Amino acid sequence: MRNKIIFNLNWKKLLFSFYWLVVLLIIVDQASKALFLHLEATQGPGFELTIIDNFFYFSYTRNTGAAWSILRDYPIFLVLISLFAGGAMLAYRIIKRKELSSLYKAAWALAIAGTFGNFIDRAFYKLFTGRPGVVDFLHFRFGNYDFPIFNVADMCLVIGLFGLIIMGFIDDNKPKLKQEAVKVEDPRHE
pLDDT at 6: 54
**73 tagged catalytic:** no
pLDDT at 16: 72
Residues of the chain with pLDDT under 70: 1-9, 11, 13-15, 65, 67-77, 175-190
pLDDT at 63: 84
Per-residue buried b or exposed e for 129-154, using 16+ beta carbons within 10 Å of the residue's own CB: eeebbbbbbbbbeeeeeeeebbbbbb
pLDDT at 100: 85
Find the catalytic residue in 29, 121, 146, 154.
154
* Residues forming beta bridges with residue 141, ordered by sequence position: 146
Residue in 11, 7, 21 with CA at minimum distance from that of residue 117: 21
Find the catalytic residue in 136, 146, 172, 186.
136
pTM: 0.78
Torsion on CA atoms 24, 28, 33, 36, rounded to nearest 10: 160
pLDDT at 160: 94
